[in-house]
Structure 1
């Protein structure tokens, strides 16, 4: 398969992961009853994408050592969890999809330079944000997120979700797009992209987005400045880690004030109740969990849900916290592998910055954004989901940079299939 064909596939694959096809083909999830129904065209489309991804995966060069990495082990754990799962078929099916996502992420990272990864991701996100805003103003129902409590956005209208499955998810993507624009764009393209991302954040009115845009830009600026000063990654992580902890303590000490400014209650819209439930479920099976994506099909979940006064009338798809959700699904084993992936992604993204300051700093910012978002949402370890995919892309791109003995400056890295490492024309 030629590089142009592969590039087209990656564009399509990422578009599917971002959720645009689901928005156009499935009922609006914010309308409640019946919104989660399936669509035959959508299912066939995703199945076709997965079939092509198998060709992409098999075309790659593999060594046995490539299989002994935290992402692959995590994927295998999700599949193997079907043997003790509360819903064996779901764990096997969804675990297989997640493993496929991981393998495609690996191949994408090996075939594409860090800068081109950021360019491609930024292009797709900003394009979808802009198109979503346009369709929103044209009155397309699918782009609107109807709030059950009749809240409004910054301009007094309905919330925007655009061409993304949820307004909060869309806000996270807009932040990633904005950081990418800062990293790889200049001039008018950068300004237009930042305006589109900012406009999306204001229309979606997700407090998560407001927090993450500050976190994302701050992480990007700190990483880029340190890379340019040639600060060693050991010194960088020790000093910035201390500052990060101090900042977190300061935020916690002003927690009530912060929540008031963001217009949120003390339960974070019932999230704290979900976290308590999740921790209780994890304590029942602490080592390997209930099986990937299986807990809510268990009798324990049904019983706990019925007893919960604050959540009884909510449809609960997950625990709105990535580490707790992973602990419930896969126990301490799964959480340990996720922590390894995140730690390695942070360290190696900084190393990528030595090769390409913009791309490496963007990778670092993406990872920090996902970690912060993980504390109030399910943003990684979910199958067919962009945040999970981009995390593993960063892991493998960083691993490649760490292993490369003599990378070329500017992102054109030596390594497997180096003839395919070209700059996409977007």
Structure 2
């Protein structure tokens, strides 16, 4: 008889679920979201203190980013903000580090499917339409709803493709993936649709790799590398013109609703203090003249959480090129290492983490999703880097152990 597949739920899974639910569904939780996250994250850390400490000591380099953010308080325009938000970012990233030591990638995938699925069901049942006819779901804006759906379709497709997942859950994932398309269209976000398509392609590509021999994998890797290089060159040469045509064809503003003007202003602030920036979380502050002018210019209420709609520009304004370099190392380092690990160990969970990291990088050019306190995208960005490192280290260790075995199967006792 074929053994029945079961899903085991541990204390760590429950606590991570609570933390993720608070962040992903913060529009539903309201002011309790941050408190719920801190409570669940704190309990996760202390439920196995020794393991938590070991994880933090092992992956300490990830905390260089919040440490630098706190350091910017020394020259920040608003030092209290920089220190307070830097501490909160450190707490958030410590949670990400501890989580990777307690949950497998497959468990995390299933957990995210449930959490994001709740948001989708709530949006279908209680959602609303915003100005212009775009569907908002239970979120505050069409962009927030579109971002939620973009992640959900990737998670749902991964669950549906995972051979180790029970059949009933795979069928639920397939239904969720099929339903995501119309909901993304209802959000009227051309950017989300364009960006999720290449990320979704990572999953079938991973499944294909799993069926190839060693030399076939190597050939495919070379072809992918050449394709990515050609695509990057094409984007550099003709990306602006192509984007303008796509936006014009979809009825969108070629300036990305004023984003290009914001980018020009952001670059001027970076030029003033390029290395250290103005201080972490010290630009979009009520009472700060330049921020108030931009809020008024774009008809946004003062203190409404506006940004430069570009991760590199927005974050470089506050933490300079030094801090931005640390962020880029996490984002792109995580993507590259996870791509290598997925190529070596192709499965649905690894493909999901790679696709989510790719989505984060693509969105980084028009949105600002990382790195902030109590941010699910910041947590996943760090988690992807650590999961990839863990996997590659394990592969290297297994290879070293195999090399120590003689052809007869006895362990080598070479001095």
Residue of structure 2 equivalent to 1:156: none
Give yes or no for the alignment of 1:52 onto 2:58: no
Gaps of 5+ in 1: 27-38, 137-143, 154-158, 409-426
Give yes or no for the alignment of 1:191 onto 2:174: yes
176, 192, 198: which one aligns with 2:151: 176
Contact 2:55-2:101 at 8 Å conserved across structures: no
Q: Which has the higher contact order (CA 8 A, sep 6+)?
A: 1
Give yes or no for the alignment of 1:311 onto 2:311: no
Residue of structure 1 equivalent to 2:412: none
Shift of 1:392: 0.9
123, 131, 150: which one aligns with 1:132: 123
Gaps of 5+ in 2: 1-7, 162-169, 399-415
Shift of 1:50: 5.1
TM-score w.r.t. structure 1 length?
0.78
Mapping of 1:93-112 within 5 angstroms?
93-112=84-103
Residue of structure 2 equivalent to 1:152: 133
Residue of structure 1 equivalent to 2:270: 282
Between stretches 266-275 and 202-211, larger displacement belongs to 202-211
Partner SS state of residue 379, structure 1: coil
Describe the shift of the 1:84–1:6 C-alpha distance in structure 2 as closer, same or farther (beyond 3 A).
Answer: same
Shift of 1:370: 0.6
Residue of structure 1 equivalent to 2:409: none
- Hey, what's the Cα distance between the residues in 2 that align with 1:388 and 1:294? 19
Contact 2:22-2:33 at 8 Å conserved across structures: no
CA deviations over 1:353-378 (Å, ceiling 9, x no partner): 22342222222211111111111111
Give yes or no for the alignment of 1:339 onto 2:323: no
Describe the shift of the 1:266–1:341 C-alpha distance in structure 2 as closer, same or farther (beyond 3 A).
Answer: same
Residue of structure 2 equivalent to 1:24: 28
Give yes or no for the alignment of 1:161 onto 2:161: no
Residue of structure 2 equivalent to 1:411: none
Partner SS state of residue 185, structure 1: helix
- What is the number of residues matched between the two proteins? 374
Shift of 1:61: 4.1
- Hey, what's the Cα distance between the residues in 2 that align with 1:78 and 1:332? 12
Contact 1:118-1:184 at 8 Å conserved across structures: yes
Residue of structure 1 equivalent to 2:184: 201
Give yes or no for the alignment of 1:292 onto 2:280: yes
Shift of 1:277: 1.6
| The structure with more radius of gyration | 2
Partner SS state of residue 297, structure 1: coil
CA deviations over 1:251-277 (Å, ceiling 9, x no partner): 433232201123211221111121112
Describe the shift of the 1:228–1:270 C-alpha distance in structure 2 as closer, same or farther (beyond 3 A).
Answer: farther
Describe the shift of the 1:234–1:291 C-alpha distance in structure 2 as closer, same or farther (beyond 3 A).
Answer: farther
Partner SS state of residue 54, structure 2: coil
Describe the shift of the 1:145–1:370 C-alpha distance in structure 2 as closer, same or farther (beyond 3 A).
Answer: farther
Contact 1:381-1:388 at 8 Å conserved across structures: yes
347, 355, 360: which one aligns with 2:350: 360
Residue of structure 2 equivalent to 1:211: 194
Contact 1:382-1:388 at 8 Å conserved across structures: yes
Shift of 1:306: 2.8
Residue of structure 2 equivalent to 1:412: none
Contact 2:270-2:277 at 8 Å conserved across structures: yes
83, 88, 94: which one aligns with 1:92: 83
- Hey, what's the Cα distance between the residues in 2 that align with 1:111 and 1:4? 9
- Hey, what's the Cα distance between the residues in 2 that align with 1:240 and 1:224? 19
Residue of structure 2 equivalent to 1:402: 392
Residue of structure 2 equivalent to 1:417: none
- Hey, what's the Cα distance between the residues in 2 that align with 1:308 and 1:179? 34
Between stretches 309-318 and 332-341, larger displacement belongs to 309-318
Shift of 1:305: 4.7
TM-score w.r.t. structure 2 length?
0.80
How large is the Cα RMSD of the aligned pairs?
3.0
Contact 2:70-2:87 at 8 Å conserved across structures: yes
